[in-house]
Structure 1
């Protein structure tokens, strides 16, 4: 790619950094009771879903060797 060799005045960028507005943004509105209740309910549902998934998923993640050994020992006894 070719770069331009001509000088580009970037004085406007330096001026923009030092510019401060005297306009203040409007104050934030406080959440109503129904909004707070909704946010709390959503948080509880997400937390309960994660906890339930963990509780239901833990048995499938176990590496129990006793069940596999029990079946093998019964097969070995039948020979």
Structure 2
């Protein structure tokens, strides 16, 4: 058995270099049409939610710079 000359705290690390598995993993199963459609729907829903939040939130973030549109308090109207 192959041994390293330098000390290694764990024996399985020292032997891991020479270990090769002869077991092949099973082939990856393909997603069905329903699973692919479901993933697309979830992705589109997330993207649509982000776009909708931007569309709804943009008016609140914009600064109104029209000169005739100024806010006055009601107390200033009643001297």
Cα distance, 1:60 vs. partner?
0.6
- Once superposed, what is the RMSD of the aligned Cα atoms? 2.9
Structure 2 segments unaligned to the other structure (5+ residues): 1-6
4+ residue stretches of structure 1 with deviation over 3 A? 7-12
Q: Which has the higher helix share?
A: 1
Aligned residues: 69
Cα distance, 1:33 vs. partner?
0.5
CA pair 8-47 structure 1, distance change in 2 beyond 3 A = closer
Structure ranking higher on relative contact order (CA contacts 8 Å, 6+ apart): 2
Partner of 2:4: none
Please report the TM-score for the alignment, with normalisation by the length of structure 2: 0.67
Structure 1 segments unaligned to the other structure (5+ residues): 1-6
Partner of 2:50: 50
